[in-house]
Amino acid sequence: MRRIGTIICFGISFLLIALGILDHQFQAVLAKAAKVCLECIGIG
């Protein structure tokens, strides 16, 4: 039973990651991460 739950969670995670990549959401995440990083360093 526990193995089925793990497989389902992995499948849903993979599906959501694939949808995010296909919708180009990784660009927004990368831009926000770079902005936060540059603010911490004090450059931006």
pLDDT of 44 reads: 58
Q: Residue 20's CB: how many other CB atoms inside 10 A?
A: 13
Q: What would the DSSP string read from start to end of 3-32?
A: HHHHHHHHHHHHHHHHHHHHTTHHHHHHHH
How many whole angstroms separate alpha carbon 14 and alpha carbon 33? Answer: 22
**pLDDT class for 10, splitting at 50, 70, 90?**
very high
pLDDT, tens only, 11-44:
999 999 999 899 988 899 899 998 888 888 877 5
With a cut of 70, say whether residue 5 has pLDDT above it.
Answer: yes
pLDDT of 40 reads: 84
DSSP category for residue 2: H
pLDDT of 8 reads: 97
Q: Where are the domains of the chain?
A: 2-41
Q: Do 44 and 35 touch, CB atoms closer than 8 A?
A: yes
